[in-house]
Structure 1
Amino acid sequence: MKRIAARIWHRIGGPLQWRLLWLANPKFMVGVTGVVRDADGNVLLLRHRLWHADHPWGLPTGYAKKGETFQETVVREVREETGLDVRVGELVRLTSGYRLRAEAAYEARLTGGRLEIDPFEVLEARWFAPGDLPEGLQESHRSLIGREFGGSSGS
């Protein structure tokens, strides 16, 4: 039976194989986070309007769009939420397991732009020293910030 299934699989070809795989597997949203640092090592944090009131502070975050690389998502989300430009660095975290969502986080360096927040999503944007982070910061983001930039992939 396995040989017959393998022969059928090879005969149907690429496009139909991809369609069958698409139908047979779960679909995931991918949340992408940027750990944006300036030249002094300060980190950009946003007080998000749509997040829980107990934990409104966090890193620039958003969902990847179809056809977009995760690095492109970081650049787009930072620009949309803050008006700032960044250069994306190393992947620092990749996780899954929360419903149908996967999450990727990348280090990023400020390269330019002018800070202008998107008032629909963001109430406030500020630079913080890693040792002086605000109350109400998402715990998962606190651990990302605690990584030494350019160091090991940590947590």
Structure 2
Amino acid sequence: MAFVRCVGGVLHDPAGRLLVIRRGHDPGAGLWSLPGGRVERGESDTEAVVREMREETGLDVRPGELAGMVVRGRYEIFDYVCEVVGGELRAGDDAADARWVNSADFASLALTDGLVDTLRDWNRLPRC
């Protein structure tokens, strides 16, 4: 099986809330996850993160260090810690909703499989 390279963004606001999106399409339609998507041909991971974050959340970001990588079916997902540098939060493209969540909100959402454990392992859960 050939893997599809994908990227995602891990963002916390100054209060420590985590940015999540509700997926508008399969895989995982209706579930909450980190924003991101496929790396297009000829695109670097950094370029893909910036594009996907703008498309799905309306935010302009500066990708930083690699938070980690997971494999979900045929998708290899490389998630990068990001910093917001502009834009305004809104759901767009493949996202049905986008919001900042604290720990209590995060725990109440229908999340994609493995997200909680992955973010816990990476020390990237909501901080408030």
Q: Distance in 2 between matches of 1:116 and 1:96?
A: 27
TM-score by length of 2: 0.78
Q: Which has the higher strand share?
A: 2
Q: Kindly, what percent of the aligned residue pairs are identical?
A: 35
The structure carrying a bigger helix percent of its residues is 1
Q: Which structure exhibits the higher relative contact order, with contacts defined as CA atoms closer than 8 Å and separated by 6 or more residues?
A: 2
Quick one: distance in 1 between partners of 2:57 and 2:22? 11
Q: Which runs of 5+ in 2 are unaligned?
A: none
TM score, norm. by length of structure 1: 0.66
Unaligned ranges ≥5, structure 1: 1-25, 150-155
- How far apart, in 1, do the equivalents of 2:53 and 2:72 lie? 25
The aligned counterpart of 1:138 is: 112
How far the C-alpha of 1:27 sits from its partner, in A, is 4.7
**Higher Rg:** 1
The equivalent residue for 1:10 is none
Q: Which residue of structure 1 lines up, in the alignment, with residue 73 of structure 2?
A: 98
Is contact 1:45–1:127 with CA below 8 Å preserved after alignment?
Answer: yes
Residue identity in the other structure for 2:101: F
Q: Distance in 1 between matches of 2:119 and 2:16?
A: 10
RMSD over aligned Cα atoms: 2.3
Alpha carbons of structure 1 residues 98 and 34: separation in structure 2 relative to 1, 3 Å: same
Question: Is it true that 1:34 corresponds to 2:29 in the alignment?
Answer: no
Which 4+ residue blocks in structure 1 deviate beyond 4 angstroms?
A: none
**Aligned equivalents of 1:39 and 1:117: distance in 2?**
20
3-state SS, counterpart of residue 148 of structure 1: coil
